[in-house]
Structure 1
Amino acid sequence: MRPYPIAAQSVLRPVSRRGLRRRTRTEYELLFPAAHEVLVYRVHGDFVLDDGALGANDRTVLDATHVSLVDLSVDKPLEVDLRVSACDGGMFTVRVMFRCTVTDPVAVVRDGRSNAAVPLAAHLGSLSGIPALGHRLTVDEVGPARARLGAEIAELLDRNPPAEPGMRITVSSVAIQPPAEVTTSESGRRALRRDSAFAGESDDFEHALALRTVEHEYELWSKRRRLSSSIDDETLRRKRELAEVEAGTVRWLADQIGENPERALILALVREELSPADLTERLLDHRQAVDRHQAEREKKRWSETVELRRRHLDVLEAMVNRGVVDTVGVDPEVMDTVFGNLFESLRAALVTTATAELPAAGPAEAGESTVDEVHSVDMEK
């Protein structure tokens, strides 16, 4: 940080002529002011102010033996500290903020006020009221009394303002800095309070987190339970629907199959419950069984027919033997026709029955024996 109010100074060496060239100073010897700064040259014991208009070959610049760079900032803040003893031997710091403005750069350079913080600190130390304030307090009492101490010191400075040549100085603020041990102790207490508060907040947070975790777990458990119940209900409903569909399918298949075993075998083949070879074998067995059953039924039917015709013949025989036919008064030709038809139907039934009962015999033999039997019966009648 540059000093204030004289930001920079430089001693200038004499400039001699070099041959026929004019005398001039190099840029390394000169100071270059900013917009808020001016130069003050010392020439033959006098001080000349330059706002940047003089060049490197100007006579004033060439004859100058010293140059200063002065800061002309308005109300430049300048902080000054003063160490004050407390009554218990401790130390605290009085920090005063001054506002400074250079009104006469030549006077500042002439009086050598290169750093205004030094005379201002000396001015603070010369005020007897400030040490007296410290002697009334201990180090531990400084902290609570800082506002009161700052007001008293500001009032004291107002009655005894600092005076520096070529400058206007005012007091901006006064602050009391407690001793390092007090600051450390207070920092430790604040840290303990923060740690305690943080521990309490941490416990509260952990408790709230644990409570929230329990609530979240219970909520998840409830949702899982409801979801499981919903899944079970849905599964049961689908099972019932599937059972109803299967029952309907079974009923439809039963209606389609009816009493036809061949359709049942074909359905088993479609469901891959039977192989094609098994299906063929079972169909052959079924058809053979059907043929046998039909043959037995036909045989039974013809047997019953023959037996009926024989009974009819017995009845007619009895009627002839008793002479009932002669007494009826029926035309004999009609009676012959009736008896002829009866004999022909009985003969056909006997031939069919004999053929079914004697499969080993030849057709001619079976027919001849049946015909002979019919003729014998006819002759007897």
Structure 2
Amino acid sequence: MTPAPLSAQAVAPRGLPPLAARAAAVKSSPVRDILAVTARPEVINFAGGLPAPEFFDVAGVAAAFAAVLGGSWSGGKALQYATTEGEPSLRAALAARTSARGLPTEADDLLVTTGSQQGLHLVTSALVEAGDTVLVESPCYLAALQVFAFAGARVVPVPCDEDGVDPDALDALAARERPKFFYSVPAFQNPTGRTTTAARRAAVAAVAARRGFWLLEDDPYGELRYEGARVPWLATYPGAEDRTVLLGSFSKVMAPGLRLGWLRAPEALRRACAVVKQSTDLHTPTLNQLAAARYLADRDLDAHVATVAAAYGRRRDAMLAALPEALPDGAEFARPEGGMFVWARLPEGADAAELLREVITYDVAYVPGAPFYAADPDPRTLRLCFVTQDEATIREGLGRLGAALRG
């Protein structure tokens, strides 16, 4: 008897193979989850890390795109594939800006990335094998923790205080753990807003040279300074020159929707990152790169940043002035010199994540601090973004927060 064709047989469908363990293990960002829950327009949302859209130079960016697409500068090249390393005109402009800020840089020292978040992914992919150790500040930028976890890294936090990372603790952990790199946001750190002092940066550089690990410096906020003097990048300190990757971004000073960042790294690591990028997206969009280069050629970005920073500084001051009334007795918060965030700690016994359930019913939101810790989270902590709303809205939002926390 001839068997029926396979297509005619009744075959029970089998289940699909499972997700990769790394995909199943890495959790969604609680910041993104909170933004989805609080998308209602009546909510005053201090949870995000969103620049204020009213300060985007829409006219300047539009003119740059029009010039590129109109052919007066680059013509049809803007719609073509580009090199993985990035458009030479943009890399040259970025190298000039970096050099002017005290770190001599050539265009060939840079790799253009699709946001500095991609830079984190590229460096981690190029350096980290599953099981390798990565040292991070405690607490740490949440999306960096996601990248490291997805790579299968063993993430070890290093104690910090108001001056930045504790160099003695960094030295002891590096001796014990033999990390691939130490990840840091030294300027106006996310989430705490603190700035690592020059003395601490010099000590970090010395530890890295002595113990033999890379330094990964993420600097998305460094140009948003409202008081005090600028502190040089890690790569400028003795011992760090040949082992530091610097990540930069236009997201906080031009427009996050452009998704333009860059990394500066020693040649061998930079080449490895370019290979990883080829497997990821081939190259960052040509049109966006050329428009950014045109913007830098035609406009004064530094003047624009100064205008934005002045407004953000006023918003920071409004938040700092209203917080004592909004937070309960015994709470603490830090005064950032720049950036986008204020870090607060509620009194003993409080749980910021549990309290958020009630706070949201008052149409205001923050981010609980616990997810920013690689280990031993402090449930009392929370992060507030002060740049997205104007001063009056900040005062109204903190009034709601105070009413919610008082119950």
TM bucket normalised to smaller = under 0.3
**Larger RCO of the pair (alpha carbons < 8 Å, separation 6+):** 2
Larger Rg: 1
Greater helix proportion: 1
> So what's the TM-score if we normalise by structure 2?
0.16
> So what's the TM-score if we normalise by structure 1?
0.16
